[in-house]
Amino acid sequence: MESRLVVLSRGPELYSTRRLVRESEDIGLAVRVIDPLTLTLVVEQDGGKILHGGWPVECDAILPRIGYSITRRGVAVVRQFEQKGVVVVNPSESILNSRDKLVACQMMVNDKVPVPITAHVGAWEDTGRSVNRVGGCPCVVKSTEGTHGSGVFLVRSEQQARQLVYQMLERGMRPLVQEYIQESHGVDMLLSERGPLVLEVNSSPGLEGIEKATGVNVARKVAEFLKENLEISTKEIKNSDNKSINLKK
Ligand SMILES: Nc1ncnc2c1ncn2[C@@H]1O[C@H](COP(=O)(O)OP(=O)(O)O)[C@@H](O)[C@H]1O
Ligand SMILES: [Mg+2]
């Protein structure tokens, strides 16, 4: 039987969604696109339910395309699918981690992925010391939860950095002071004099630019990754069935 994939996306007409649907269908998956915000989640002891127009959503895998503005609601939907045991391309926890630049940096450093020196400043009085730590001015001040360039500032003086950090802390934001990689013109990967440095991770990247720029069929690779994981999970289910039969003997 064909494996059933649900693409969670608010825009079935969007380039990236269309590409992912097309490539997944091409490798033999039955695909449906559902707007995650239209789903009703029933949380209960015996597994819970995910309903669309009153009907339970049945699928073997999901591919979440959760935009920044619907993170909280989208992640709750993804978590409910995880609890049902379906294959999930990028799990709820990964989506949340990718939305926090500080967490993403910490995780990348842990896995030996090079990042620019980054300081999270807890008290505005420490701004000057943080600026020195990241190599002095000019440096970058940004909010750990910003997106699309909002809340990213190139600062040329310690005074300016202090002001920004103060304002961010006052608004309940978490400010980062970061080494400025002047020689770089890339987007989220900076080509520094000491090699490439990764700035952040995107859990639902637009595919149009990256497919055109690299000539890599990214949507196909995602679809193939999905299929491999579906095959692994089917094998695991079969193995656990065998085990329970053996135990009964
Ligand atoms: N430390 C840095 N050095 C040089 N350029 C940077 C640095 N941080 C951010 N930028 C530039 O600003 C852009 C936006 O910053 P980024 O941290 O990716 O936040 P956003 O979530 O807004 O994409 C980056 O794509 C990059 O071009
Ligand atoms: Mg970015």
Cα–Cα distance between 218 and 209 in angstroms, integer? 11
Ligand number nearest to the C-alpha of 147: 1
Distance 108 CA to ligand 1 centre (A): 16
pLDDT higher than 70, residue 111: yes
190 CB under 6 A from ligand 1? Answer: yes
Q: What is the pLDDT of residue 92?
A: 97
- Please choose from 199, 200, 202, 210 the residue to mutate so as to test ligand 1's pocket, defined by most ligand atoms within 8 A of CB: 199
Residues 87 and 169 in one domain: no
Residues 113 and 178 in one domain: yes
Cα–Cα distance between 80 and 86 in angstroms, integer? 10
> What percent of the chain clears pLDDT 70, i.e. is strictly above it?
96
pLDDT digit string, tens, across residues 56-102: 999 999 999 999 999 999 999 999 999 999 999 999 999 999 999 99
User: What does DSSP assign to residue 24?
Assistant: H
105 in Cβ contact with 97 (< 8 Å): no
Nearest-CA residue for ligand 1 atom 7 is 180
Instruction: Identify the three-state secondary structure at position 241.
Output: helix
- Please choose from 101, 141, 147, 152 the residue to mutate so as to test ligand 1's pocket, defined by most ligand atoms within 8 A of CB: 152
Q: Which domain range does residue 113 map to?
A: 101-198
Residues 132 and 56 in one domain: no
Q: What is the CATH number of the domain that holds 108?
A: 3.30.1490.20
pLDDT band (50, 70, 90) for residue 241:
low
Ligand number nearest to the C-alpha of 177: 1
Instruction: Quote the strand ranges of the chain, DSSP E.
Output: 4-8, 30-34, 40-42, 49-52, 55-56, 61-64, 87-88, 118-120, 139-143, 152-155, 175-179, 189-192, 195-198
Q: Which of 198, 213, 235 is the last residue of a domain?
A: 198
Residues 236 and 161 in one domain: no
pLDDT digit string, tens, across residues 168-213: 999 999 999 999 998 887 878 889 999 999 999 999 999 999 999 9
pLDDT band (50, 70, 90) for residue 248:
very low
The two tokens of residue 215 are 């000539």
Atom of ligand 1 nearest to the CA of 147: 21
Residues 158 and 123 in one domain: yes
Atom of ligand 1 nearest to the CA of 179: 1
